Structure 1
């Protein structure tokens, strides 16, 4: 009597399959985001460039009317752009990530699409878009105008990295809070309206008198904006800038947001 050796069935590599499914889901969500966010109106991506350009022009016209020179350098457009571009990165990114759950709610009913896929899709697309816009705006100003700036790419990338971390962290936490507490969304919009003014976009942190300067230091956006200006103006040291503080704010917010979403995202989607 012969005994046949039966090889055990080969189990599919579930983690690998899940990884590829996740990549496909993220790609599909990115294409959907591109079609809905930039394909509805003529110009599409052109408006993403014109918006910061128009903001810089308004600030330039207003402040150059009663100021002989900006707080740093000789170019008003360059000074305001170095503050506005990283701020726009944070503002847009945290808003996109915070709305990921509600935006992709119909697709999250499929088991192959997770809330992490929805967040990553909006994160990747918005980061790429804002980096390209920043390159075009800042590079265009340097080509057209005399700015006397010397870009330091590693420092500029550090500034953008901090803003991306803050946008992802705070956006992920707000993704849960916006869905769980609708009134919080309205309150957040009201409370954060002065952020553009108190984050150092239109002035230097060093020009703020004490003791308000000490209070302003705890605004995490002040640090990457100061770092961005250090990256363009070699004579600007920005000793107040901390890499640790905004990083901690971002990591704590991201960790807390992911924990809450992992525990309650199904409850939020069923509401």
Structure 2
């Protein structure tokens, strides 16, 4: 009787293991962020909606019409929602290592699993919330806007990509230099006023309006509004510029994290 060849151990495909890790991290993120009750999910809608309504009420009291169109609610929403998506993706990505520090000690859980889990959940949540808020505003108000979906979807995709790039870079800096978290919060606080969210940069005097075009968020918010206001077509919009900035930051962040994230976790 011939000897049978020894049985080889069955290994799970790394892709399947990664999928399981990401899925488990998403469930953990949902439980810790939104809780086990519907209140956490409802608050995710109320918070940005309340911000938009407050801004609309404040500016409608001081101005007869917004910078574009006739309705303040849709004007604020078309700038604030992509900005909120960018900000949320950037913040959650930057905090991925510290949030999942204990789980990253397991060999099957990588730093990319933690980042992708937070990214996927944030994108799904923000997309749903934005759709609900925009649908409500368009249904309740006579906004006199004409929807053009391709630039709207592209602007939200660019906001998410830029948020990911900034978040990956900040994941390195905030983990290595804790003081950077406070400095970044101070530096970026004026962005909501300088990124086409509340004020159009075209209304700023020269040379400030030209300088602000270097801000990639300006391009994202302007592109978003072209999907609602047919006559609004600023010539400075450059999706390629936003993608370039986002990819440069993302590549640098991933390279540093891949090389040093184990050392960062020991700090």
Shift of 1:205: 2.3
Q: Which residue of 1 aligns with 2:87?
A: 91
Q: How many residues align?
A: 267
Shift of 1:58: 1.2
Q: Which runs of 4+ in 1 moved over 4 A?
A: 4-12
1:242 corresponds to which of 238, 241, 244: 238
**Counterparts of 1:61-100 in structure 2 under 5 Å?**
61-100=57-96
1:173 corresponds to which of 169, 173, 192: 169
TM-score normalized by the length of structure 1:
0.94
1:196 aligns with 2:163: no
Q: Look up the SS of the partner of 2:197 in the other structure.
A: coil
Q: Look up the SS of the partner of 1:194 in the other structure.
A: helix
Q: Which residue of 2 aligns with 1:51?
A: 47
Q: How far apart are the structure 1 equivalents of 2:178 and 2:248?
A: 22
CA offsets per residue over residues 81-121 of structure 1, 9 Å max, x none? Answer: 00000000000110000000000011111111000000000
Q: Look up the SS of the partner of 2:142 in the other structure.
A: coil
Q: How far apart are the structure 2 equivalents of 1:264 and 1:110?
A: 16
> Is the 2:194–2:201 Cα contact (8 Å) retained in structure 1?
no
Q: How far apart are the structure 2 equivalents of 1:167 and 1:9?
A: 48
Q: How far apart are the structure 1 equivalents of 2:7 and 2:29?
A: 41
1:217 aligns with 2:221: no
Shift of 1:22: 0.5
Q: Where do 5+ consecutive residues of structure 2 fail to align? A: none
* CA RMSD of superposed structures (Å): 1.7
